[in-house]
């Protein structure tokens, strides 16, 4: 990337006697024994240390260079840093010092932060540029032209211009049907500002969009998808007819959606489908494991984990386990006794508490011969690997 920069008058490195006295704050060597670079704050350091210092910042993804003296930490202007590195490299633009400076500029360009009233947009052309536009154009869903490839696109959804058609309708036309079905199944929502997909794995309904465009500046409700202010974190979910107790943003209702399907919403998980028990190969060769697979189940707020009651039919024996709901199944501990018939029941739990228990699963005999009745092959059926080279 090529950039034109303008040097500030008198902003170059200073080799004043006062600045060159003392020790380098990085290597602690005497400054008058090595080439010295002085910063605008009048602190000085070795030329080699300056290079290594900036290189360390760039390698760690830091985009702002400050004075390395802990008590100072004054930012180093880009123009001055360029001149310091150029002089440290002998004035040649192809030195490692100048290549390092260009790397720093690239990082700064990638992590640019929009100013007040601005929004950072991605051109929809693959591999093209980013651009800053006024927020008013985003709110108006106006069309903008990329200065690089000249493509016209919508400032609200960052997709090709779609005329008078809404962003949502244009998106549905572009979207693959399988993707549309997956969004509905997983209950994913789009940020009302940048249209990025967001998923709430746990926590409350007050969402903060983490996308590169919003950068945490956009808040919205996961239930009604309306934009919110930071001050709406609690008020949007309380103080209206239909609010449930003190659950607030952790519940299943909000000010714009006080009911679900025409009825008062319950913010505890609903009744899940019965789990499925199966015998699968274990982690160790020749071993088996009892797997509990969750049935189809969605709840708002989402289920965080399941309580598992593993019972032995015809006895009072009950083993209580728990497993994260994010995983599609859970393998019982290796200590679970074999050659016994088991039955499982699960209870979903979210941030508000436990929901109703599922119906019991079918009874499964925890025995190696059960492997033959499933699609899992026996461990001994896996052919051994050969180290012999062969040619065709």
> Residue 333: which CATH number?
2.60.40.10
* Model pLDDT, residue 33: 60
Range of the domain at 37: 31-110
* Model pLDDT, residue 50: 80
Q: Is the pLDDT confidence value at 2 over 70?
A: no
- Examine residue 12 and state whether it is found in any structural domain, yes or no: no
- Examine residue 226 and state whether it is found in any structural domain, yes or no: yes
The reply to whether 192 and 155 lie within a common domain is no
The reply to whether 259 and 327 lie within a common domain is no
The reply to whether 146 and 198 lie within a common domain is no
Q: Is the pLDDT confidence value at 378 over 60?
A: no
Q: Which of 50-54, 223-227, 371-375 has the highest mean pLDDT?
A: 223-227
- Examine residue 300 and state whether it is found in any structural domain, yes or no: yes
Residue closest to 200 by CA, chosen among 130, 271, 275, 298? 298
Alpha-carbon distance values, 371 to 109, 192, 310 (Å): 57, 49, 20
- Examine residue 137 and state whether it is found in any structural domain, yes or no: yes
Question: How many domains is the chain built from?
Answer: 4
Question: 85-94, 244-253, 283-292: which range is least confident on average?
Answer: 85-94
Judge if pTM exceeds 0.85. Answer: no
Q: Is the pLDDT confidence value at 360 over 80?
A: yes
Q: What is the pLDDT of residues 311-334, one digit of tens each?
A: 999 998 999 999 988 888 999 999
The reply to whether 248 and 288 lie within a common domain is no
Domain boundary among 110, 127, 150: 110
CA dihedral (266, 227, 124, 184) in degrees, to 10, reads: 10
* Model pLDDT, residue 18: 38
Half-sphere exposure (CA, 13 Å, Cβ side) for 178? 0
Domain boundary among 62, 87, 110: 110
* Model pLDDT, residue 152: 92
Alpha-carbon distance values, 305 to 43, 308, 372 (Å): 56, 10, 31
The reply to whether 102 and 122 lie within a common domain is no
* Model pLDDT, residue 257: 79
């Amino acid at each position: 990337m090529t950039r034109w920069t303008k040097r500030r008058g008198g902003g170059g490195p200073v080799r004043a006697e006062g600045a060159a006295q003392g020790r380098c704050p990085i290597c602690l060597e005497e400054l008058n024994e090595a080439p010295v670079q002085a910063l605008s704050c009048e602190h000085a350091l070795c030329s080699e240390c300056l290079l290594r210092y900036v290189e360390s910042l760039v390698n760690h993804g830091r985009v702002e260079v400050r004075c390395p003296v802990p008590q100072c930490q004054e930012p180093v202007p880009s123009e001055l840093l360029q001149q310091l590195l150029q002089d440290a490299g002998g004035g040649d633009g192809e030195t490692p010092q100048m290549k390092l400076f260009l790397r720093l500029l690239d990082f700064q360009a990638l992590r640019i932060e929009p100013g007040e009233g601005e929004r950072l947009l991605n051109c929809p052309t693959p591999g093209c540029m980013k651009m800053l536009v006024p927020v008013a154009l985003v709110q108006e869903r106006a069309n903008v032209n990329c200065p690089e490839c000249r493509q016209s696109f919508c400032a609200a959804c960052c997709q090709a211009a779609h005329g008078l058609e809404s962003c949502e309708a244009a998106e549905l036309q572009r979207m693959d049907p399988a993707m549309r079905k997956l969004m509905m199944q997983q209950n994913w929502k789009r940020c009302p500002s940048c249209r990025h997909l967001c998923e709430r794995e746990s926590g409350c309904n007050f969402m903060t969009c983490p996308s590169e465009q919003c950068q945490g500046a956009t808040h919205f409700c996961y239930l009604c998808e309306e934009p919110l202010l930071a001050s709406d974190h609690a008020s949007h979910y309380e103080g209206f007819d239909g609010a449930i107790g003190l659950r607030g943003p952790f519940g299943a209702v909000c000010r714009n959606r006080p009911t679900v399907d025409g009825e008062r919403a319950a913010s505890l998980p609903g009744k899940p489908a019965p789990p499925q028990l199966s015998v699968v190969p274990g982690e160790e060769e020749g071993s088996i494991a009892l797997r509990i697979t969750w049935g189809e189940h969605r709840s708002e707020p989402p289920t965080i984990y399941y309580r598992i009651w593993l019972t032995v039919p015809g006895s009072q024996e009950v083993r209580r386990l728990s497993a994260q709901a994010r995983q599609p199944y859970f393998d019982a501990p290796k200590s679970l006794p074999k050659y016994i018939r088991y039955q499982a029941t699960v209870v979903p739990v979210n941030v508000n508490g436990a929901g109703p228990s599922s119906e019991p699963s079918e009874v499964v005999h925890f025995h190696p011969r059960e492997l033959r009745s499933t699609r899992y092959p026996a461990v001994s059926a896996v052919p051994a690997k050969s180290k012999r080279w062969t040619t065709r």
